[in-house]
Structure formats: C-alpha cells, structure tokens
Chain A
Amino acid sequence: MTDNAAAEALRSGDPRAFTLLVDQYADSIYRLVMSIVQHQEEAEDITQEVFTTVFTSIGKFKGDSLLSTWMYRIAVNKCQEMLRKQSRQKRSGKHVSYDLAGQHHVAVQSAYMHPQQELENNERAQILIGALNQLPEQQRIAFTMHKIDGFSYEEIAEILDTSLSAVESLIFRGRKQLKLLLATYYDEHY
C-alpha cells in the first residue's frame, strides 16, 4: 500500500490499514527510536506512543510529506522529549566512565542494548557510542540517523523539518567533535 493510500485508509477507519501500518513501520520506527535513546524498554514505550499518536492524529496529517516522514518526525520528537526529560531528571543508569584528557570524567552509557547486535568490533562501537552521547542533541540525532539508521541527508532534513545545509552542518560538526573526543580517548588509553 502506498503512503497516500495508507493515510486515506487510516482516515476512513479501514481496519486493515492499522494492521498494515504496524506491519510496515513497527521495525523502522523502533530501530530509529532505539538508535537515539539506546534503551530497549524506553524505545518500546516510545514506539508505542508514536503509533498511538499516529492512530489518533491521522486527521492532522495534511499529506504534504510522506506518511513515513510524518511518522519518523513524530518519533524523533518523542525521543527529544525523552532525552530532555532524562537530562532534566538526571536519571541514573548503568554507567562506566572514561577519561578525556584535560577534562573531567565523562559518564558513558555502557548498556547499548541492540538485542541482536552482532559486532566484530564491539568494543570500539561502545567507545564511539560513548562519544556520540557527548554530542549536542541535534548533532547526535542527525549523526545517528545518518550513520546508524542509514537515512540520507535529504530524508533527515525532511524529518527534522530543517534545511539540507543545516543537516550537512550538523553532521559535519558532529563528525569533527567525535574525532576530537576519540583523539582524547586514544591519548588517555593507548
């Protein structure tokens, strides 16, 4: 079913449309949320919230973008809400720390829980994810969407409702900052 047809079917309350939407987008929404929040239970809760919003607010979908783009936008917004809430509450989790030269200890979330994650270079991925978590929110989200979820710059621009040049700049700055963080880590540990 195409995006427009799916949106129309949802608006008209077609029972099959809801099931089809779950079949079609459950994985991709969950993956996106998971790559941003990096916690399985929270990712599942957010995914559920995303679908609740989609089901109840389909009337607000104007069709000026793809249905999938609209859904990803809702997902990113929910993730941002969660990250801001977390940062406000300074919720404690399972953490390990590593040194950044000339800086204070930085807490890095150790439990990056991709259940089926199979990485040859798991240790390095953990280091990269630790550094990723130090980036400003927008840089982190844009970089994650591109690097982990495989979205193109154009898709990210549409989902984040921003310009292509802004996305390019976010990812460029994110990459630069990551390299600096990794260089510092290397100096400390090797």
Chain B
Amino acid sequence: MDTQKEQWIEETMNSLDGLRFTRASEALRERLLVLAEEVKTIRPLVTRRTLWMTAASVVLIIMVNISTVISAQRKSLQSEELDSSYFSYMNQQL
C-alpha cells in the first residue's frame, strides 16, 4: 500500500475525532418531562415487590393455621385414645 493511500485511510479513520456531540433538543427534553409526569400519575401506589411480599405473608399465615389445626387434631385424637384405654382398664378392674 502506498504511503499516500495509507495516510488518507488513517486520516479518514480519525475524521470523527473532531465530532461535536449532539444534545437532545428542547422539544425532546419537553417530551421526556411530560412523559415523566404521565408515568408518575399512572404509577401504581403499591410496588410489585410489596404485592408479592403481602401474598407470601398471607400464604404463610394460612399454612401456619393449617399446621396448627392438624397438630391440635392429632393431640385431641391422642388424648381420646388415652382416655378410652384408661376407662377400659378401669372397667376391667370393676
């Protein structure tokens, strides 16, 4: 590759170096600020995270209740069995 061509390629490759960056126009900025206002008004009061946490808490409470009922039922069954075995023993004695 000849030097002149190489130099031209190199200069062209660097031709964007002096590029002045554009800024968002005032009109676009206005549109974005209006958008921000709109989003603020439609934004839900409760966040999704809070919603999931609430749902998880409700499920947890229900599960604790179910397990309490089951364990209470088991205890009452055990106590009934104990009572009946005791009374059957007493009846035998009499």
**How many of A's residues come within 8 Å of B, CB to CB?**
45
> Would you call B13 an interface residue if the criterion is a C-beta within 8 Å of the partner chain's C-beta atoms?
yes
Nearest Cβ in chain B — how far from A54, in angstroms? 9
Nearest Cβ in chain B — how far from A146, in angstroms? 11
* Inter-chain contacts of B12 with A (CB < 8 A): 124, 127-128, 182
Nearest Cβ in chain B — how far from A73, in angstroms? 18
Assess A59 versus B25: contact at CB under 8 Å? Given A51-B32, A182-B12: no
Cα–Cα distance between A41 and B91 once the two chains are bound (Å): 98
> Contact at B47–A114, with CB atoms within 8 Å?
no
> Would you call A121 an interface residue if the criterion is a C-beta within 8 Å of the partner chain's C-beta atoms?
yes
> Contact at A115–B22, with CB atoms within 8 Å?
yes
Q: Enumerate chain A interface residues (CB-CB to B < 8 A).
A: 11, 13, 15, 18-19, 21-22, 26-27, 29-31, 34, 44, 47-48, 51-52, 55-56, 59, 114-121, 124-125, 127-129, 147-149, 175, 178-179, 182-183, 186-187, 190
With most chain A CB atoms within 10 A of its CB, the pick from B15, B29, B32 is B32
Residue of B nearest to A51 (CB): B32
* Inter-chain contacts of A182 with B (CB < 8 A): 8-9, 12-13
Nearest Cβ in chain A — how far from B60, in angstroms? 22
Top 7 A-B residue pairs of the complex, sorted by shortest distance between their CB atoms: A18-B36, A124-B15, A55-B39, A30-B24, A26-B24, A125-B15, A22-B32
User: By DSSP majority rule, is chain B's interface helix, strand, loop, or mixed?
Assistant: helix
Nearest Cβ in chain B — how far from A32, in angstroms? 10
* Inter-chain contacts of A115 with B (CB < 8 A): 22, 25
Cross-chain pairs A/B with CB under 8 angstroms, 28 sampled: A18-B39, A18-B40, A19-B33, A19-B36, A21-B36, A22-B29, A26-B28, A30-B22, A30-B28, A34-B22, A47-B24, A48-B28, A51-B35, A55-B35, A56-B39, A114-B20, A115-B22, A116-B22, A116-B23, A119-B18, A121-B18, A124-B15, A127-B15, A128-B16, A129-B16, A148-B19, A182-B13, A183-B1
